[in-house]
A = this chain, B = another copy of it.
Amino acid sequence: MTALKNDRFLRALTGQSADMTPVWMMRQAGRYLPEYRATRKQAGDFLSLCKSPELACEVTLQPLRRYAMDAAILFSDILTIPDAMGQGLYFTEGEGPRFRKIVRTEADVLALPELNTARDLSYVTDAVSVIRRELNGSVPLIGFSGSPWTLATYMIEGSGSKDFRHAKSFMYNQPEAMHLLLDKLARAVADYLNAQIAAGAQAVQIFDTWGGVLSTPAYQQFSLAYMKKVVQQLTRVSEGREVPVILFTKNGGLWLEDIADSGCDCVGLDWTIDIGRARARIGSKVSLQGNMDPSILYATPQSIRAEVGRILQDFGPGNGHVFNLGHGITPDVDPQNVAVFVESVHELSQQYHQGNAG
Q: List residues of A whose CB falls within 8 A of some B CB.
A: 163-166, 168-169, 172-173, 212-219, 251, 253-254, 271-274, 277, 291, 293-296, 298-300, 303, 307, 310, 330, 332
A274 lies within 8 A of B216 (CB) = yes
A165 in contact with B295 given A173-B303, A253-B254 (CB within 8 Å): yes
Chain B residues with CB below 8 A from A273, complex form: 216, 254
Bound form: Cα–Cα A217–B292 in Å: 12
A295 lies within 8 A of B217 (CB) = no
A295 lies within 8 A of B163 (CB) = yes
What is the total number of copies of this protein in its complex?
A: 2
Which label, helix, strand, loop or mixed, suits the secondary structure of the A interface? Answer: helix
* 4 nearest A-B pairs in the assembled complex, by CB-CB distance: A216-B274, A172-B299, A172-B303, A168-B295
Chain B residues with CB below 8 A from A310, complex form: 217
CB nearest neighbor in B for A299: B172
Bound form: Cα–Cα A259–B311 in Å: 23
B168 lies within 8 A of A298 (CB) = yes
Bound form: Cα–Cα A332–B163 in Å: 11
Contact of A272 among B251, B294, B303, B330 (CB under 8 A): B251
Report the minimal beta-carbon distance from A291 to chain B, rounded to whole angstroms: 8
B165 lies within 8 A of A298 (CB) = yes
A293 lies within 8 A of B168 (CB) = yes
A172, A291, A299, A300: residue with the most chain B Cβ atoms closer than 10 Å: A172
Chain B residues with CB below 8 A from A213, complex form: 272
User: Other CB < 8 Å A-B pairs besides A214-B293, A215-B293, A216-B272, 18 of them?
Assistant: A163-B295, A163-B330, A164-B295, A165-B298, A168-B298, A168-B299, A169-B298, A169-B299, A172-B296, A172-B299, A172-B300, A173-B299, A173-B300, A215-B291, A219-B272, A254-B254, A254-B272, A254-B277
Bound form: Cα–Cα A251–B274 in Å: 14
Bound form: Cα–Cα A332–B162 in Å: 13
Chain B residues with CB below 8 A from A277, complex form: 216, 254
Chain B residues with CB below 8 A from A168, complex form: 293, 295-296, 298-299
A272 in contact with B165 given A173-B300, A300-B173 (CB within 8 Å): no
Bound form: Cα–Cα A294–B291 in Å: 29
A332 in contact with B215 given A254-B253, A254-B273, A273-B254 (CB within 8 Å): no
CB nearest neighbor in B for A164: B295
Chain B residues with CB below 8 A from A296, complex form: 168, 172
CB nearest neighbor in B for A218: B293
Report the minimal beta-carbon distance from A328 to chain B, rounded to whole angstroms: 11
Bound form: Cα–Cα A277–B271 in Å: 22
B272 lies within 8 A of A215 (CB) = yes
List 30 A–B pairs whose Cβ atoms lie within 8 Å, in order of A's numbering.
Answer: A163-B294, A163-B295, A165-B298, A165-B330, A165-B332, A166-B298, A168-B293, A168-B296, A168-B298, A169-B295, A169-B299, A172-B296, A172-B299, A172-B303, A172-B307, A173-B299, A173-B300, A212-B272, A214-B272, A214-B293, A215-B272, A215-B291, A216-B272, A216-B274, A216-B277, A217-B274, A218-B293, A219-B272, A251-B251, A254-B274
Bound form: Cα–Cα A309–B45 in Å: 49
Bound form: Cα–Cα A274–B257 in Å: 14
Report the minimal beta-carbon distance from A250 to chain B, rounded to whole angstroms: 11
